[in-house]
A and B are shown apart, each in its own frame.
Chain A
Amino acid sequence: MACIEARGLRKTFGSTVALAGLDLRVEEGRILGLVGPNGAGKTTALDAILGLISYEGELRVLGRDPWTERDLLMRDVCFIADVAVLPRWIRVSQALDYVAGVHPRFDRVRAEGFLSKTNISRRSKVSELSKGMVAQLHLALVMAIDAKLLVLDEPTLGLDILYRKQFYDSLLNDYFDRNRTIVVTTNQVEEIQNVITDLMFIDSGRIVLSCTMEELESRYAEVVVKPEQASAARALKPIHERQGLGRSVLLFDRADRQQLAILGEVGTPSIADLFVAVMGNHSNQRQGAVK
């Protein structure tokens, strides 16, 4: 059974189409990175998955309909919407008490263990903690829940580099195992490059690209070529080209690697570069279609 399965998922807000018939399948044990420009529909998709909004089409999360069974679903699903949603008045000890009181899969000892590695005092109120500490607290609460699916929507927004790094480190080292599934959205694509197993680009409520990281490595190649070889490289139809340090960096989709190796140094593109290439082409196509 897939962890998340959506067919023709649609959501409109008035005349705005947030999700334009999304087909999605996330298998158990994957870490999916959902990447897209602002307003692409990432958060809407996650909200639908979490049972926070109604939708058209078919959607099953762990075999349940999120919209009608949110409270049951939340026994097996955790989410961090963004770092600012922990109530400011709550004390750390109260947050632990509350989650322990309502969540059947919450391991309080584990949460205390995570917290003891931080400088967060049990007596503190959330309003007295720094933004990074609030994120640590929320993560400690969530990681102590034995959930099957963890959804993170911009979990590191507004955090400094140290906290961001720490966040993903603890997620991978202390939490993730092959039985859990994680879905994460972020604009900081470089920080999830080595975290995710699957990548999905989404724009205007549609999936633009969906692949595993292995597929990404075998399918896309980036070549750094000197100016004199640039025209030869362009003949191979790169999907994107940018200039850097007097050289051209060309991105190819399903090109012959041996052919590319003659032209220059071949590597795997970063998610950020691939994003720019794919999204740039996508929006050009869309504009072309409109004209």
Chain B
Amino acid sequence: MSTQSNAAPESSASQPIAAPSLLPTHPMRWSLQREFWENRSIYLAPLWAAGIGLAGFLIHLLKAHSLAGLDSAHQKLELTVPYMLVASLIMGAAFIVSIFYSLDALYGERRDRTILFWKSLPVSDLTTVLSKASIPLLILPFLAFAIVVAAIVVMLPVNMIALGGSDITFAQLWQGLQLWQSAKMLLYHLVTVHILWYAPLYAWLLLVSAWARRAPLLWAFLPPLIVSLFEKLAFHTSYVSGLLLGRLGMGSGAGGQGADVATGPGAALMPSPQFMPDRFFFLPGLWLGLLVAAGFIALAVQLRHRREPI
């Protein structure tokens, strides 16, 4: 006995049957991976939207009439509108997926009782909820951006070949599209509108999905509607509906006013005055909204801790 302990280094002698060392784990990474496995629409829907957009673009090119008769402003518009439409299609798909994903994220696992499997593993409720929140708040906006860029990379050479016969040069197309400018605008739009401004919306949907025992869609949209109508009826005011519409409307209205014929897609993505950097980051609504979003997500973490399978 004594010879053994002498031979063995002291550290191992003091822990003769030490627990096997813990293997490194990556709960956040694998929680995200789980979401991609379970909800393939996260990437399939924007990809399908891109595919359909590209098909539409091809048909458009085949049927396109000559641009020769138009003045240069209208030429630019004719050339650049398809790019805008494809980008909107992809971003719209990503937005809709975000809504439905968030509504099901913490509801589905309780409904099908798989929460009992997920909770049998050493992954905290915080990690799970944050991984789910990051899908609409980070993954989908940036994924949409990447797919838009990829779609444009495909569209440009095809467009050049199609224009080969006409007198519009690559330089004109390039100038009309203002690619770098547009890409920056698109990214700014995604970060300010889809991430920062919509954060309370997604957080609310996640909260409802963690709380509802059935029909999360109804619970998410009916109460705000009823409160708005009640306020209108009882007090003849519209603060609530104004607040909610302002939250939803401001983003999609971006560029609405400013997009005249002469400007390209870059200008169409031009933020509305409210969303210009010099004003946006000083909007009380932005910071209040983010605070509310953080509160909703904290509540969702608590609810995932407490809620049982349905």
B218 at the binding interface (Cβ < 8 Å)? no
Within 8 Å CB of B113, what residues of A? 81, 84-85
A47 to B37, CA, bound (A): 28
| Chain-B contact segment, one of A68-76, A168-176, A231-239 | A68-76
Q: Would you give the 0/1 interface string for B170-205, flagging 1 where the beta carbon is closer than 8 Å to chain A?
A: 000000000000000000000000000000000000
With known contacts A101-B30, A105-B20, A72–B122 Cβ distance under 8 A = yes
> A54–B37 Cα gap in the complex (Å)?
31
Establish whether residues A74 and B120, one from each chain, have CB atoms under 8 Å apart when the complex forms: yes
Q: Does A289 contact B (CB under 8 A)?
A: no
Interface residues of B in 1-60 (CB under 8 A from A): 19-20, 22-27, 29-31, 33-34, 37-38
Chain A contacts for B125, CB-based, 8 A:
71
Contact A89 B27 (CB under 8 A): no
CB distance from B210 to the nearest CB of A (A): 15
The answer to whether B23 and A54 touch across the interface, beta carbons within 8 angstroms, is no
Which of B34, B38, B308 is in CB contact (< 8 Å) with A52? B308
What is the distance, in angstroms, from B144's C-beta to the closest C-beta of chain A?
A: 24
A201 within 8 Å of B (CB atoms): no
Q: Tell me how far the C-beta of B153 lies from the nearest C-beta in chain A, rounded to whole angstroms.
A: 31
Q: Is the CB of B122 within 8 A of A54?
A: no
Query: Which of these, A73, A88, A98, A105, contacts B22 with CB under 8 Å?
Result: A105
Given A87-B117, A105-B22, A98 and B122 touching (CB < 8 A)? Answer: no
B116 and A101 form a contact (CB under 8 A): no
Cross-chain contact of B23 among A47, A50, A98, A106 (Cβ < 8 A): A106
**Contact status A146-B20, CB under 8 Å:** yes
The secondary structure that dominates the B interface is loop
B124 contacts A by Cβ under 8 Å: yes
Set A52, A74, A87, A146: member contacting B121, Cβ < 8 A = A74
Q: Is A79 an interface residue (CB 8 A)?
A: yes
What are the interface flags for B281-310 relative to A under an 8 Å C-beta threshold, 1 for contact and 0 otherwise? 000000000000000000000000110100
- Residues of A near B22 (CB, < 8 A) are 75, 104-105
Minimal beta-carbon separation of A123 from chain B (angstroms): 14
Within 8 Å CB of A97, what residues of B? 30, 33
A89 to B41, CA, bound (A): 14
Question: What residues on A are CB-neighbors of B120 within 8 Å?
Answer: 50, 74, 78-81
Report yes or no: B117 in contact with A101, Cβ–Cβ below 8 A. Answer: no
Inter-chain contacts of B114 with A (CB < 8 A): 85-87
Cβ–Cβ < 8 Å partners of A82 in chain B: 116
**A101 and B29 form a contact (CB under 8 A):** yes
List 30 A–B pairs whose Cβ atoms lie within 8 Å, in order of A's numbering: A47-B308, A52-B308, A71-B123, A71-B127, A74-B119, A74-B120, A74-B122, A75-B22, A75-B122, A81-B116, A82-B116, A84-B113, A85-B117, A87-B112, A87-B114, A88-B112, A89-B37, A91-B37, A97-B30, A98-B33, A99-B121, A101-B29, A102-B27, A102-B30, A102-B31, A103-B25, A104-B22, A104-B23, A106-B23, A146-B19
Give A contacts to B, CB under 8 Å.
47, 50-54, 70-75, 78-82, 84-91, 94, 97-106, 146
- Please give 20 more A-B residue pairs, beta carbons under 8 A apart, in addition to A74-B119, A102-B31: A52-B119, A71-B123, A71-B127, A74-B120, A74-B121, A82-B116, A85-B113, A87-B112, A89-B38, A90-B37, A98-B30, A98-B34, A99-B121, A102-B27, A102-B122, A102-B123, A103-B121, A103-B122, A104-B22, A105-B22
